[in-house]
């Protein structure tokens, strides 16, 4: 028998933060197409695993490095 990690149904697992940068100004990268679909799919997956999910978007590298995202 395999060792498995038991997960209780309905038990909250914690918090997940999705950092969703869609628009980029560096190197003229512009908009990242498909971003919104990726966010929806990832959020659905994390919620199905009982995480509380927050999404933040289009943050600069200064903000991301400052621990003041939300």
pLDDT for position 60: 66
Give the separation between CA 20 and CA 37, rounded to whole angstroms: 11
**What backbone phi and psi angles, to 5 degrees, belong to 39?**
-65, -45
pLDDT for position 34: 84
Give the separation between CA 42 and CA 53, rounded to whole angstroms: 10
- Encode 2-68 in three state secondary structure: CCCCCCCCCCCCEEEEEEECCEECHHHCEECCCHHHHHHHHHHHHHHCCEEEEEEECCCHHHHCCCC
Per-residue pLDDT of the chain (70 residues; tens, 9 = 90+): 577 766 666 677 889 999 888 776 667 776 777 888 999 999 999 999 889 999 987 776 666 666 655 5
């Amino acid at each position: 028998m395999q060792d498995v990690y038991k997960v209780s149904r309905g038990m909250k697992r914690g918090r997940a933060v999705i950092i969703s940068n869609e628009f980029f100004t560096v190197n003229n990268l512009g908009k990242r197409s498909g971003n919104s679909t990726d966010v929806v799919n990832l959020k659905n997956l994390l919620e199905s695993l009982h995480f509380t999910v927050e999404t933040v978007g289009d943050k600069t590298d200064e903000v991301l490095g400052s621990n003041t995202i939300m």
